[in-house]
């Protein structure tokens, strides 16, 4: 007997698995790990994965729930379980009057997946507020605690994604929100959106609303059009390479980065004339070229075929490699 995962991934790709365990407590998780033999796919909200048509093994869904907070004079400490929807956690903190997560509003997926790729948006990353990740090691069942330094966070990367992939099951996170955290308004169109909203007093709620409005305009709703948000990372190149590209391509969109400059992948794809274009099953979204959308009936092969075409076009024109952001299984 097989289990369909089509409703469990936001791309809406058809995928059949041999068996699925959805667990809601640590005890259930430990028991399920003991039953998992052979390939095991860890699946949270399914918002950052490309699944094959068939998974020859077990799917494990750690749906642990719960949020606790501890207030101190200068900060608020929050413990959130892996199965909590990230967007709900952000809204909850705002309802309590706590700032710090507003730029990360409306990011899909669950808390447990957040540290894997160090989720980020509008100039803020999880690493900015994370204190600790709690996991259980699939290899020996040991409970572990990972400090922010242990996590080896980088741009859309962490030890859980590229260092020790699939060995740890995230149980929850501990975050710290300073009482005096400054609002981050200088990334993207936040300031202009706040002006459009005619906000008299800018606070965390206003910033969250601006971010939500921006995301709603730029990113399609996965419930209506299957997608995983940004499909490619923004490439980072040397300052010399960026300067050469600026001579070749007036208007090149880039930002400072540790490597030199970070390019806007959406701009590169758009410049190649691919916005709104596709292969009949998959396309670059007409409003945001960085988002690949399932036009209906697409499989993983269709998604990856179009993704390779996009990569080839960008490489040929700009001599820049685009790296796929979601996890590819197969």
Domain harbouring 323, CATH code: 3.90.78.10
**Boundary residue ending a domain (178, 205, 227):** 178
Instruction: State the residue range of the domain holding 319.
Output: 236-328
Confidence bin at 221 (pLDDT 50/70/90): very high
- Report the alpha-carbon distance of residue 251 to residue 239 in Å, rounded: 16
1 is written with which tokens?
A: 């007997």
Give yes or no: residues 26 and 88 share one domain. Answer: no
Give yes or no: residues 28 and 85 share one domain. Answer: no
Q: What is the pLDDT of residues 232-281, one digit of tens each?
A: 999 999 999 999 999 999 899 998 888 899 999 999 999 999 999 999 99
Residue 222 lies in a domain: no
Domain count, the chain: 3
Give yes or no: residues 80 and 58 share one domain. Answer: no
Lowest mean pLDDT among 52-56, 81-85, 89-93, 161-165: 161-165
Q: What is the pLDDT of residue 141?
A: 94
Residue 198 lies in a domain: no
Give yes or no: residues 81 and 147 share one domain. Answer: yes
> Residue 305 catalytic?
no
β-bridge pairing 130-137 and 168-178: antiparallel
Q: What is the pLDDT of residues 178-219, one digit of tens each?
A: 998 789 998 878 999 999 999 889 999 999 999 999 999 989
- Report the alpha-carbon distance of residue 182 to residue 190 in Å, rounded: 14
Q: What is the pLDDT of residue 200?
A: 85
Nearest Cα residue to 105 out of 96, 115, 113, 93: 93
Give yes or no: residues 23 and 74 share one domain. Answer: no
Active-site hit among 148, 156, 213, 261: 156
**Boundary residue ending a domain (129, 160, 178):** 178
Residue 81 lies in a domain: yes
> Residue 84 catalytic?
no
> Residue 254 catalytic?
no
Give yes or no: residues 173 and 81 share one domain. Answer: yes
This prediction has a pTM of 0.92
Spacing of C-alpha 59 from chain mean position = 20
Active-site hit among 230, 261, 275, 327: 230
Sequential DSSP letters for 271-287: HTT-TT-BSSSEEE-SS
* Cα distances (angstroms) measured from residue 212 to each of 47, 121, 180, 207, 253: 17, 11, 23, 9, 23
**Boundary residue ending a domain (43, 62, 81):** 62
Active-site hit among 84, 102, 132, 325: 325
Give yes or no: residues 48 and 116 share one domain. Answer: no
- Report the alpha-carbon distance of residue 120 to residue 37 in Å, rounded: 34
β-bridge pairing 327-328 and 49-50: parallel
Q: What is the pLDDT of residue 163?
A: 85
Dihedral of the alpha carbons of 243, 245, 250, 255, in degrees to the nearest 10 = -60
Q: What is the pLDDT of residue 255?
A: 87
CATH of the domain at 149: 3.30.465.10
Residue 90 lies in a domain: yes
E strand residue ranges, 95-243: 120-121, 124-125, 130-137, 143-147, 168-178, 236-237
């Amino acid at each position: 007997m097989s289990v369909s995962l089509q409703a469990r991934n936001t791309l809406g790709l058809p995928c059949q698995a041999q068996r699925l365990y959805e667990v809601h407590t640590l005890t259930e998780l430990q028991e399920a790990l003991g039953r998992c033999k052979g390939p095991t796919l860890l699946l949270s909200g399914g918002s950052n994965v490309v699944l094959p048509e068939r998974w020859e093994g077990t799917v494990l869904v750690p749906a642990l729930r719960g949020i606790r907070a501890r207030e101190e004079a200068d900060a608020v400490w929050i413990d959130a379980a892996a199965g909590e929807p990230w967007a709900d956690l952000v809204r909850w903190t705002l309802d309590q009057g706590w700032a710090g997560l507003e730029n990360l509003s409306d990011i899909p997926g669950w808390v447990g997946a957040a540290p894997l790729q160090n989720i980020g948006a509008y100039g803020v990353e999880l690493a900015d507020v994370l204190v600790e990740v709690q996991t259980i090691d699939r290899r020996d069942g040991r409970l572990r605690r990972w400090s922010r330094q242990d996590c080896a966070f980088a741009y859309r990367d962490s030890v859980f994604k590229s260092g020790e992939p699939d060995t740890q099951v995230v149980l929850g996170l501990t975050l710290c929100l300073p009482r005096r955290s400054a609002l981050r308004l200088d990334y993207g169109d936040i300031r202009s959106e706040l002006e459009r909203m005619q906000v008299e007093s800018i606070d965390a709620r206003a910033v969250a609303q601006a971010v939500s409005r921006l995301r709603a305009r730029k990113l399609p709703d996965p419930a209506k059009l299957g997608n995983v948000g940004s499909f490619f990372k923004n490439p980072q190149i040397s300052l010399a390479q960026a300067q050469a590209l600026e001579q070749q391509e007036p208007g090149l969109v880039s930002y400072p980065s540790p490597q030199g400059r970070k390019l806007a992948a959406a701009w590169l794809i758009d410049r190649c004339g691919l916005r709104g274009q596709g292969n009949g099953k998959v396309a670059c979204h007409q409003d945001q070229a960085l988002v690949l959308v399932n036009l209906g009936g697409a499989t993983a092969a269709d998604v990856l075929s179009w993704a390779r075409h996009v990569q080839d076009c960008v490489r040929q024109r700009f001599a820049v490699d685009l790296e796929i952001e979601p996890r590819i299984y197969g």
